[in-house]
Amino acid sequence: MKKTSMLTLLLLLFGYSVFAASSWIGVQAFTTTGTSNPALAIWGTDFEGESVASLTGANIAGSIYPVKRLPFGFGFQVGASEMSSISNSTAEIDLSEYPLAWRGSLSAQYHTHIFGHLSMELGMGLLGERMNKAVGSGNTEIRATLNSFSLLSSINMFLPLSDAFSLVGGIGASLPIYTQRKISRGDNTDKANVDVEGITVHAQIGISLAL
């Protein structure tokens, strides 16, 4: 009996999803707030203790569902963000130290109908971010690069505005899994992996165009 009930529930969920999945592309404004320990400094001397940082930016985002009658697809984001605030428990941090953070993500997506015209998209994937800054020292350029990869999960909600356009908003969270700092001076390059702990919460809103 329990197996039959579970199978029925899965079939109903799948049935709703069959008619809900639709490929889309759009633009989104987003903000993130996260904790990090240590507080990362792009030039190589990290600040001790936990920091709280907020960034704001914009994305080109979308989801592709190769088989329209199936609710499974993949999603992507490409964009950039700027540090809007950062605080640390042990030191003052200069915001001007941080350049734009370029970001991109790729995720597996699941799309399902909720009620009325409202639908939902669940995603799980990988987020990559990169900060890059250069300064001149005499005839030598010194360049610092901070690369990171995080595990990303997200929930998006879609409210149709017309046959082609929808209002899309969502939240997400990411956990750091790999961070590397690279300092280049002329032909010399120093690389170091940084062990980072923390969590970042994401929120975004934008407009999507059905494909």
Residue 15 has pLDDT above 80, yes or no: no
Per-residue pLDDT reduced to its tens digit, 83-97: 998 887 666 677 777
Under the banding of pLDDT at 50, 70 and 90, the label for residue 1 is low
Could you give the dihedral angle defined by the CA atoms of residues 17, 23, 24 and 30, in that order, rounded to the nearest 10 degrees? 60
- Which residues span the domain enclosing 66? 2-210
* CATH code of residue 15: 2.40.160.20
Say which amino acid occupies 83.
M
State the Cα–Cα distance between residues 21 and 67, nearest whole angstrom: 9
Cα dist from 13 to 98, 109, 122, 155, 193, whole Å: 45, 15, 14, 17, 43
Q: Identify the burial level of 135 via C-beta atoms within 10 angstroms of its C-beta, where 0-12 means exposed, 13-18 middle and 19 or more buried.
A: exposed
Q: Which two tokens stand for residue 8?
A: 């029925």
Per-residue pLDDT reduced to its tens digit, 107-160: 999 999 888 889 999 999 999 999 998 877 667 778 888 899 999 999 999 999
Q: Which two tokens stand for residue 54?
A: 């907020």
| Average pLDDT score over residue span 49-54 | 84
The gap from C-alpha 46 to its chain's centroid, in whole angstroms, comes to 23
Residue 16 has pLDDT above 50, yes or no: no
Residue 55 has pLDDT above 60, yes or no: yes
Q: What total number of domains does the chain contain?
A: 1
pLDDT of residue 147: 93
State the Cα–Cα distance between residues 194 and 191, nearest whole angstrom: 10
Percent helix, strand, coil in the chain (nearest 5)?
10, 70, 20
